[in-house]
Structure 1
């Protein structure tokens, strides 16, 4: 059964949101400031990394690592020059 899980973090004045849709094929969508900037799929519970850029001057490269399972999905945000941070789950 497919379920959607939402995660969020604010970094360097920008909003980063991730949606993890679980099921046989896992779909991960990442939005920066409300615009889709990354998308990836994986099978089962395999982790997936989505590469994104934050619209800073100069642009900052970052990644969102999604772990769909087992159990509840989790997302980790990593940006240049910053410690990795766990993204907060959101209920919608």
Structure 2
């Protein structure tokens, strides 16, 4: 059974959202300021990192590490020079 899980964080003045669709093949979509900027698939519960750029001056590369399972999915925002930030789950 496939389910969608949503996550969000604000970083460097930008909105970063992730949607993790679970199932045999997990699908991860990343939006920065409401625009799709990254996409990845993984099998089962294997973690996957999706690299995206924040539209700062100069652009900042960050990655979202999504872990589809076991249990509930989790997402972390990883940026250079700072500790990884846990992305908050959203109920919608």
Q: TM range, normalised to the smaller chain?
A: over 0.9
Q: Distance in 1 between matches of 2:90 and 2:61?
A: 24
Q: CA–CA distance in 2 between the matches of 1:46 and 1:35?
A: 25
Gaps of 5+ in 2: none
Matched length: 92
Task: Compute the displacement of 1:44 (Å).
Answer: 0.2
Q: CA RMSD in A?
A: 0.5
Which residue of the partner structure matches residue 34 of structure 1? 34
Distance 1:34 1:84 in 2: 22
**Deviation of 1:32 (Å):** 0.1
Q: How far apart, in 2, do the equivalents of 1:4 and 1:46 lie? A: 16
Structure 1's consecutive aligned runs of 4 or more residues displaced over 4 angstroms after TM superposition are none
Q: Deviations over 1:31-77 (max 9, x none)?
A: 00000000000000000000000000000000000000000000000
2: CA distance, partners of 1:44 / 1:71: 12
Report the 3-state secondary structure (helix = DSSP H, G, I; strand = E; otherwise coil) of the residue aligned with 2:78.
strand
- Unaligned runs of 5+ residues in structure 1 are none
Aligned equivalents of 1:81 and 1:55: distance in 2? 18
Distance in 1 between residues matched to 2:60 and 2:30, nearest whole Å = 15
TM-score of the aligned structures, taking structure 2 as reference length: 0.98
2:64 maps to 64
Distance 1:70 1:24 in 2: 12
